[in-house]
A and B are shown apart, each in its own frame.
Chain A
């Protein structure tokens, strides 16, 4: 227990900022932007402080705050973070802080934009911090609604379609998960004699194997939609592409991690269910990694490419979780963090270009997949040029894009490598075939990212892009610098995050391994047979 309510302050700072903005005039854009930056800076500073105050020896949930809200229904304001959610809170803080700076370029309905953005992030914080299933669900929904508006109003490509699909998918996923949440709630009442949504209490109940197996599936699918797990992924690339930069960053950087985080918590509740269903995930995630990667390879829209790449990378997270191995699980959580930062950076960069060029299309050259320069058309002859050769005019952005691409392709030195490496090491003994394919997925990632660098940044520049402006001011550069530094720091000194994460995942795995029930190697078919008997 700490005296200072760190979590509540982190959580409330953006919300208060949003409330405060309501009273400001629409015209006063500078003040609105400053408030947004200030509010998120408070959250960021406290989140970083949290990382250092976190007691790695004790582990478990720390900084707990608990106030009864509706005692008769067992709903309470219960916040707390363990190593896993700590990493996620930190991720959220970094993304929203930089996202606010990225959004300084927005000129349309500035006030409403920042109010919604801050509300959205409040919801996200809430999900990661809540130890109460009721608020977990509540904040999750709180995050979805602003997203709908943010994409629908400030979005670009095909935004109505994208935002509708995204919202429907996410709500649908939530409702499916709700089925299990209610079932848990009901069982808890009969087990404990009183209603409770408290995750810690719920985690101590022993659910019957059949119950776990049946009700883990809705959680898996519900949160899996959010991850997004193949084949429920199609909302995500379109959503990314349509959203304004900061929303894309939050969306790919954080929102998708809500799903993975939800699955981790579900594994904690239902260890047997996890043991039972995770082999299925280990197969589906291959579709994520390879299929997502190949689709990304065909895309000429940079944001779509990064969108599919995200879904491909979330496959590694799923694989790491599916292996139920401590190293891989640590890697998966670290990858959630690393990928969040990396993809945030990628979307910020693409957004920066798009703001000026109003196109994200890359040229198609050298045959379909650009292995050589055989068919390079002269770009200056095109009437509606695609982006190409930008590194000449945008050296800063180009440098960061290359760094991001390399991070994404699992280049050492970046946090992504550490996490992918841990996933591979951990998964190899459980799923060797998947591991080999997953490593091949890294090659695929390198292919499409390098292709993007080649197409968008290298080569000759079209005269139309000669007038593009590089990021020169500090407010423009700050978000990129912050995000890249985070990737590098964690990449060179991973223990910084891995050690706290380990305390969280060790507890989780101890529970899963300690759970009896489904014996080693039992499969769906065998289980079905035993039920019929």
Chain B
């Protein structure tokens, strides 16, 4: 495939974004078409590399680059790297992205910022593709930050809403903290190994000879970036707030693609992590902890988007855990499957919100009667997320569990099992509350009389995504000759092992979760309220997300704020008032003393004048004259 076309994959959304900003701002419809056209173009162009990879799975990675910085001591080559890993991600971003773009045309209809929305969305696509295609750490970092910017712009899309504006700020700053480590990690790795380029780094590290401690430090620092972007503990706090953005944005950025970039990054730099097993352990445990923590929080939330957001957190933790226990392929596979079903869930949720104009699940209920397509597709997504055979989530989750089990991380394995239970529980709590039963809100369905199904421009993407959520998992099904793992692999190509007991166990656990949800929220065999009041401490803990926001706010207000106020105090009182104005005061005071000599009396001045003259004359007599005399002699 010609390099020019590969560049076009990357650049077409950028061009669309620029055209919309500069030219077609006034015409929303045209802007939307340009944006959708651009990403469809990228998608179809991405099929080229896919065909290439499918034809020759063992071909070496293709790389095109140009010199961004070319100094004798520092060279940075920007470029495109095509290998199975990037192709998979490319298809996810452009494929799921295209559907979400199309969906947005319906969802955002009538918004005054329609063009701005599509410009930002295209810009995001460009940045995300930049990460995916990147061949070096610097480029990754560049686009890493650019997705952060587009995420900021899209979360704060309704910037007049204070909560949205705050959420945007919080998202950007929290990820920025992670990027702080990422940046240092890149520089540190350059310092240790001497390159930014993935293939060069990989080759150098294969030769070995680098102290493992240094590599571990570098890997952990780079992982910090992934922690921020993929919203892993302890930097997970921004993702739920990010739901203030438009729902398609949540689907695209905060579920399917951008937040998965952290996972992609770890997978991309697996050469580094394999050389630093300690760092990998950290990845696994942070991932596992995030998975179970977010899953428990999700049970006690009431906002439809937040529940799915916590589910995203949890699934991202799952992927990280998968990578951490050595299952790179499993992690990436789960990323891909997750992109389908999580995008589906968000879009379906968006369709619900579109219909009822509320996000509180307790104001919904019985919606399956009105929203046939939405509820069906949501059900598929929920089942996939819960990991039920034979939907996509089942295969990928299973691979992670197998990887955890086989690598001997039994604790993480059980964490995974428990998380699977909670996942099924909160997904079906959501499903039963929203789609079954009778309307719960006092005023029926908000301000509107009867909720109606969304237009086809929104439901068609739902159906397509539902289709993929249902069947895509077979790409990774065990026993398949040319499955996912034979292309996306790290080291030797392999087939996923299949443990019937693990698969059966996780399915049973998921079914149990669904059953519990059914018992509590559909059949109402037990009362959730009574349970909540019985364990009110635990319930409050969960509802308040373990008080992480409060903790961070305290730290920011008291520690960072304290430092800032202290610096300001030093500035005001020590630097300005003491030193600067003090010098001025000292000068004024000295002047005040000296001016007393100005008596205003003519003769005093004259007296000084004459004394001065006499003094000078005497001085001259004492020095100048004798030397003259000596000279004459």
Q: Contact check, A495 vs B67: say whether CB atoms are below 8 A apart.
A: yes
Interface residues of B in 55-80 (CB under 8 A from A): 67-74
A298 touches B565 (CB 8 A): yes
Contact A446 B176 (CB under 8 A): yes
Q: Once the chains bind, are A371 and B556 in contact (CB under 8 Å)? A: yes
> Interface-forming stretch among A62-70, A88-96, A105-113, A412-420?
A412-420
- Are B575 and A234 closer than 8 Å at their CB atoms? yes
Q: What does the 1/0 interface line of A428-463 toward B look like (CB < 8 Å)? A: 110000011001101100110011011001111100
Say whether B579 contacts A372, CB under 8 Å. no
Q: Tell whether A406 is near chain B: CB-to-CB under 8 Å.
A: yes
Report B66 CB to chain A, min CB distance, Å. 10
A380 contacts chain B at the CB level, 8 A cutoff = no
Using Cβ atoms and an 8 Å threshold, which residues of chain A touch B33? none
Any B CB within 8 A of the CB of A138: no
Would you give the shortest CB distance from A161 to chain B, in whole angstroms?
9
Asked if A178 is an interface residue, CB under 8 A from chain B, the answer is: no
Given A294-B567, A412-B143, verify A367-B173 contact (CB < 8 Å). Answer: no
Min C-beta distance of A418 to chain B, whole Å: 7
Q: Is the CB of B557 within 8 A of A412?
A: no
- B67/A450 in contact, CB under 8 A: no
Partner of A412, one of B145, B153, B159, B580: B145
A435-B565 CB under 8 A given contacts A446-B173, A459-B162, A498-B71: no
- B576: Cβ under 8 A from any A Cβ: yes
B475 within 8 A of A: no
Option from B148, B177, B580 in Cβ contact (under 8 Å) with A234: B580
Q: A460 vs B158: C-alpha distance in the bound complex, in angstroms? A: 11
Q: Is A330 a contact partner of B561 (Cβ separation < 8 A)?
A: no
CB distance from B512 to the nearest CB of A (A): 37
Q: Which residues of B contact A498 (CB under 8 A)?
A: 69, 71
A366 within 8 A of B: yes
- Shortest Cβ gap from B214 to chain A (Å): 12
A240 in the interface (beta carbon within 8 A): no
Contact check: which of B68, B166, B570 meets A366 at CB < 8 Å? B166
Number of contacting residues on B, CB 8 A?
59
Whether the pair A368, B567 counts as a contact (CB closer than 8 A) is no
Within 8 A of B (CB), among A475-520: 493-495, 498-499, 502
User: Contact between B190 and A425 (Cβ–Cβ < 8 Å)?
Assistant: yes
Decide if A421 is an interface residue (CB 8 Å cutoff).
Answer: yes
- Do A369 and B172 form a contact, CB below 8 Å, given A231-B575, A498-B69? no
For residue A326, CB closer than 8 A to chain B, the reply is yes
Q: Is B316 an interface residue (CB 8 A)?
A: no
Interface size class of A (residues with CB under 8 A): 35 or more
Q: Which residues of A contact B579 (CB under 8 A)?
A: 231, 234
Main secondary structure of the interface of A (DSSP, over half): helix
B160-173, CB under 8 A of A: which get 1 and which 0? 10111110111011
Q: Are A443 and B188 in contact (CB under 8 A)?
A: no
Which of chain A's residues have a CB closer than 8 A to the CB of B152? 450
B460 on interface, CB distance cutoff 8 Å? no
A327 at the binding interface (Cβ < 8 Å)? yes
Residues of B within 8 A of A406 (CB): 149
Contacting pair B141 A439 (CB below 8 A): no
Q: Which of chain B's residues has its CB closest to A402's CB?
A: B153
Smallest Cβ distance from B574 to chain A, in angstroms?
9
Give the Cβ gap from B363 to chain A, nearest Cβ, in Å: 22
Q: In whole angstroms, what is the CA distance A425 to B567 when docked?
A: 28
Taking a contact as CB atoms under 8 Å apart, the answer to whether B575 and A327 are in contact is: no
A33 within 8 A of B: no
Contact status B73-A450, CB under 8 Å: no
Interface 1/0 per residue, A223-238 and B, CB below 8 Å = 0000000010111000
Interface residue from B148, B149, B176, B552 paired with A371 (Cβ < 8 Å): B552
Question: Complex: how many Å from CA A297 to CA B569?
Answer: 12
Distance between Cα atoms of A391 and B152 in the complex (Å)? 15
Task: Mark interface residues in A32-68 (1 if CB within 8 Å of B CB, else 0).
Answer: 0000000000000000000000000000000000000
Give A contacts to B, CB under 8 Å: 165, 231, 233-235, 291, 294-295, 297-299, 326-327, 330, 366-373, 376, 389, 391-392, 402, 406, 409, 411-413, 417-418, 421-422, 424-426, 428-429, 435-436, 439-440, 442-443, 446-447, 450-451, 453-454, 457-461, 493-495, 498-499, 502
What 5 A-B pairs come out closest when comparing CB atoms?
A: A458-B165, A412-B142, A294-B567, A458-B159, A298-B568
10 contacts between A and B (CB under 8 A): A291-B571, A299-B568, A368-B557, A368-B564, A369-B561, A372-B166, A424-B183, A428-B188, A450-B169, A457-B159
